[in-house]
Structure 1
């Protein structure tokens, strides 16, 4: 098909010649548990709530990125992973202990990746678990370290799970635990409002970044975390994405877009994150910082949970 005819066909393929609906792949980090959580929380029940919310929203297979050290150190949360897999949801590598590459160094970081693999291979039984999400999204203190890790990922057959949309949802967990302990329902309601507002801001930011860098929407890869508050908010969050016109796709489908070529093949030269490449360009929206307000919320009350790590 000639280029002009192809363009016309693509234009006509959507109602009224409108742009196609933007797409988003949901991914979840820090399985099987991310604390703090309100006192008395059934952490395994979080798995059922999450998987039921994903199924009800018809999101499709959502990759969960696992730190298996958590399950080995706290057997009480290990059933979370079984529930996740029985729901037909895939798991992938987030490092055994969520090690920080910039702190532990290259050799220890690669060992941490490898230490997670026996669980993943057994849990996935021939399905594709060779996706890697960098803990803290830190890819190296310099080019040499970054290339060394990418080379090892390529040798092991991994694709990198990029992040092109995020709103630091984990920041809502500590104030939620504090506010529940305080019995402050009004504060919890404000947390719910600000959480959804932050998600909307992240949509606006990521779409403006993609348009500045690529001149178009790309399939976005959303990072959210397993935690008590995101579990509470997940049905509303997914509904909000649909209301904003998004359709849900899988991580492999999203990263089949050329924008993710260097992530699908770590042997290729790396590129900076979408947000860094868009920085300073005209028309790019910058999300407000919700951190200070969240840190101050219900701060006079006793903290209700302790981190696993």
Structure 2
């Protein structure tokens, strides 16, 4: 029996260390209609994804359709996104309202208003829209607000969608777009390269964290946004992850990982990784959050940019 126990332990350690690393790519704030108009009614990000042939999930703000005067074209863009065979459509609220700030009634209305066209188009295309991602990734101010929202979402046949890796691409995107507007190609390339390198570092960190916590690499869920930065650099990130032998999987496949059934021990409005939210020990959670990689150069550049704007 002792030998059997040793064998089982060694087998578990061996198989866990060689487990396939995988990730589902999810894209928030779709469609970016301002960018669509700037690109002469083309979505360069969508084109890149067409060529990459990996599954992605998109989280839609239907309010974006009304941000430019070309509403009909914007609706066509949304339907095109949903029609892609590699795309899983999801709801991200009509106007991206922060539940912790607006309260339950406004949140509820934002969810319902944000599903009208998405579910209509999905049904026409023989798809489902069963995933919802909280805007700002905060599910209320406390456990009661969270339970209230999750029960409401379940009643509307939604699954609350987590993420495990996120590299603040929105921040990089602001700096990137500033550089593009200034026709500073060298700076734009530097920002793009920083984004790629930092994202890959974060994947390594969260994989090591999951191995430390669960003795295996979990199925990661990456969160990014519909912006010009990802149109230009998301393919690079995917290429770098492929070099590290990541498998790109659908959101359905990622959510089949048992970790996504774990109890949440964090109930506030902060939008950090679910890996931290599954840690019951607050001291350990903070320690691991403080160990997360940072990019001081980009943070400093962003702070300097905001000082100049103010």
Fold agreement, TM-score > 0.5: yes
Q: Report the alpha carbon displacement of residue 200 of structure 1 after superposing the two structures with TM.
A: 1.4
1:29 aligns to what? 28
CA distance change for structure 1 residues 300 and 178 in 2, over 3 Å: closer, same or farther?
Answer: farther
How many residue pairs get aligned? The number is 288
CA contact (8 A) 2:88 2:251 kept: no
2:241, 2:33 → 1: CA distance? 23
- SS across alignment from 2:23: strand
Structure 2 match to 1:80: 77
Give the CA RMSD over aligned residues: 3.2
Matches within 5 A, 1:261-280: 261=261, 270-272=264-266, 273-276=274-277, 277=279, 279-280=285-286
Q: What is the CA–CA distance in structure 2 between the aligned matches of 1:85 and 1:156, rounded to whole Å?
A: 20
| Residue 271 (structure 2) aligns with | none
Give the structure 2 partner of residue 183 of structure 1: 183
Secondary structure in 2 aligned to 1:183? Answer: coil
Partner of 2:101 in structure 1? 103
Q: Which residue of 1 aligns with 2:116?
A: 118
Residue 5 (structure 1) shift:
9.1
Post-superposition offset of 1:225: 0.3
- Give the conservation status (yes or no) of the 8 Å contact 1:25–1:221: yes
* Residue 64 (1) aligns with residue 29 (2): no
- Alignment gaps of 5+ in structure 2: 267-273
TM-score (norm. length: structure 1): 0.82
Distance verdict in 2 for CA 1:3–1:101, change over 3 Å: farther
Counterpart-to-counterpart distance in 1, 2:188 and 2:59: 28
Q: Aligned pair in 2 of structure 1 residues 186, 301: CA closer, same or farther (>3 Å)?
A: farther
SS at match of 2:292: coil
Q: How far is the alpha carbon of 1:99 from its aligned partner?
A: 0.5
Cα distance change of structure 1 residues 58 and 281 upon mapping to structure 2, 3 Å threshold: same
* TM-fit CA distance, 1:204: 2.0
Matches within 5 A, 1:249-268: 249-261=249-261
1:25 CA drift (Å): 0.3
* Residues 1:3 and 1:156: Cα distance change in structure 2 (over 3 Å): farther
Which structure shows the bigger proportion of residues in helix conformation? 2
- Residue of structure 2 aligned with 1:295, choices 276, 298, 302: 302
Distance 1:160 1:293 in 2: 34
What is the distance in 2 between the residues matched to 1:158 and 1:285?
33
Tell me the distance in 1 between the aligned counterparts of 2:235 and 2:146.
37
3-state SS of the aligned residue for 1:78? helix
Alpha-carbon offset, residue 117 of structure 1: 1.9
Which of the residues 33, 44, 47 maps onto 1:52?
Answer: 47
**Counterpart Cα distance in 2 of 1:65 and 1:43:** 23
Report deviation, 1:68.
Answer: 0.1
Change in CA separation of 1:206 and 1:154 when aligned onto 2, cut-off 3 Å: same
Structure 1 residue 84, shift from structure 2 partner: 1.2
2:270 matched residue in structure 1: none
Cα distance change, pair 282–71 in 1 and its aligned pair in 2 (3 A): closer
CA distance in 2, matches of 1:150, 1:103: 17
Question: Quick check: 1:30–1:226 contact (8 Å CA) kept in 2?
Answer: yes
